[in-house]
Each structure stands twice: as structure tokens, then as C-alpha cells.
Amino acid sequence: MKFIKFKPIYFNRIWGGSKLKEMFNRNIPNNANIGESWEITDRPEAISIATNGQFANISLADIIANNQQYIMGKQWNKPFPILVKWIDANQPLSIQVHPNTNTAKILNAESKNENWFIVQSQENSTIIAGFKPSVKSASTENLTDGKWLRENLNEISTKKGDSIFITGGCVHAIGKGNLILEIQENSDTTYRLYDWDRLDDNGNPRKLHIDQSAKCINFSSPISVIETNQNCPIKQNATLENASILCNFELFEIRHLKMSKNATIELQNGEAKIISLVQGTLIDDENNSIFCSENVLQPSAETLKLTALEDSEVLITKIKI
């Protein structure tokens, strides 16, 4: 088996929905408000378990520990550096911020940079990313004022195929109606600034982290949206170089490719990669399938040739270690 599949780990969220079940026929209870599905994760609170091939029923941590060169291409005694998740925003997420590397050290936390790929967006859906250019600072009073935040943050309309890289220090929120594939550093440090005056299941306001947020905020965080909906599909053979770059971060590079039916892509060995299929069906040269919404790991030692059984769209994340 030239790629490894994992069992998704689902999380009910106050803002979650049912798109993963409705769109991808996931095995999820009808009444569940699934906000996140952690697809590939190596964290104490949630660790992926392989479901196929020689590593079936083994945790990602144990797979790497016992096969470091094969999986990572080098000696590697740390957790897997990337976390991949689906986010279904049936309601808006909190306005929040993550620390960058320097601030994380000060706060004894984990840095978090993340990339959002919009797989579905309802009409009038938006995200929040950074402050408006005129905003250079904010007082504690400002940061605790939901009205001030709403008026001064940068709201961006979203559409299917948009890709946005959110750096540590960038205040952000995912708006209602977005289904997002998030590829991020292996971190779960989040500081909430504002949560729309929502109450949790026990009738209490959700915890905010104003002091930590204030230490993290970068008012000049760069924001750019890459649009992929006009990308032309490849019709024949391709390599990774044919895929357009969405994000080139120090830990990972994400590329995007549309494939016509019967088109192929060959992904050479040399580094671990994550293949995320957001449309269609792919098959390898051993007749193993990757289905829409699946995220699989290509070990560094393997070369993988994939063929589209129908028009398909794929993100390929190259892990840089």
C-alpha cells in the first residue's frame, strides 16, 4: 500500500453542522453538530489510527516511531508536524487569534499558522481576516467591545476554490456557511476575543482570552486570497510541478490541481506528502482508491501514481522538515 488512510475523529461544536454527512456520506449520527473532523492528527488529545494496509489499526505516532526513514525520509522523534481537519461552519466561529513562534514561546503555548481552502460557500458567506488597514492598534477596551471588533475587522466574501493563509497573530473568524479544509501546524492553541454573545450548552458564556490575544495580535498581518476556480484541469500526465502553489510556509507547501477524467499525476518519493481530495475519485496503480473528502499520507519512500476516475480536484501538501 503506497498511501495510508486514517479514521476521522469527529468533534461536536456549538457552531457545527451536517455537511460532512450530507455532502460526503460520512457515517455520522443525524443529530450531530459536527464542527470539525480531524483527518490526520498526532496529538495527545486526538491521534489518528490507520485503517488500511500494513499499518491498519496502528496509531500515526507508532507508525512514525517504528518507520521514521520510510515515513518521514529522515530520523524523526517528534510528533507529526501537520494537522489536517475539515471545518463545517453552520454558524460563525469565534473571533480569535493564534500565537506566532515568538509569542508562543512567551506564552508557553504552541504557534499556529493555517491554510483554509473553501470547498463550499453559501451565498453571502464571509470570513474575517485581519484588521482594516487604517487600524494600527487597539486598547483592551476595544478588544472587549464586540461592536468595535465587527466594525474594524476585515471581512472578505468567500467562494468555492478560495485559499487563504492565516498567519499566527492574524485575528480571524470563519463565517456561517463555509465548509473548509484546514491544513495547519500541529497545534491547538486558540485565544478567543469575541464569540457573538453565545452561550454554551450549560447557558454560560464561552471563555475569552483577552490578555493572551492582545499579546498575539499583529495588526499588519499580510492577507491574500488565492482563487483557484479558474484553474484549468490537466488532461494527461502531470507531476507536482504542474500543480499551482497555494501556500509556501516553512513547514509545508500546498499545491492545487484539477484533473480531467483519466488524467494522471505522479508524485515522486523524497518527502512525505498529504493528498487531500476535494472532488472526484482517484486510483493508484495497485487499484487502491482515494474518495472525495479523504486525506491520505504518502510516505517519503513511496512514489505514487494516481489516475482520476472522474473529473477531480486535489490538494497536495509537501511536508518540509
Three-state SS letters, the chain: CCCECECCEEEEEEEEECHHHHHHCCCCCCCCCEEEEEEECEECCEECEECCHHHCCCEHHHHHHHCHHHHHCCCCCCCCCEEEEEEEECCCCCEEECCCHHHHHHHCCCCCCEEEEEEEECCCCEEEEEECCCCCCCCHHHHCCHHHHHHHEEEEECCCCEEEEECCCCCEEECCCEEEEEEEECCCCCEEEECCCCECCCCCECCCCHHHHHHHCCCCCCCCEEECCCCCCECCEEEHHHCEEEEECCCEEEEEEEECCCCEEEECCCCCEEEEEEECEEEECCCCEEECCCEEEECCCCCEEEEECCCEEEEEEEECC
- Catalytic residue from among 192, 198, 206, 255: 192
Q: Hunting for cell 454560560 — which residue is that?
A: 204
Residues 6+ apart with CB under 8 A from 50: 4, 5, 6, 7, 56, 57, 58, 59, 60, 63
For the question of residue 192 being annotated catalytic, the response is: yes
CA pair distance 130, 148, nearest whole angstrom: 14
* Cell numbers placing 296: 491520505
Q: Which of 304, 298, 319, 235 is nearest to 267 (CA)?
A: 304
CB 169 within 8 A of CB 100: yes
Catalytic positions: 192
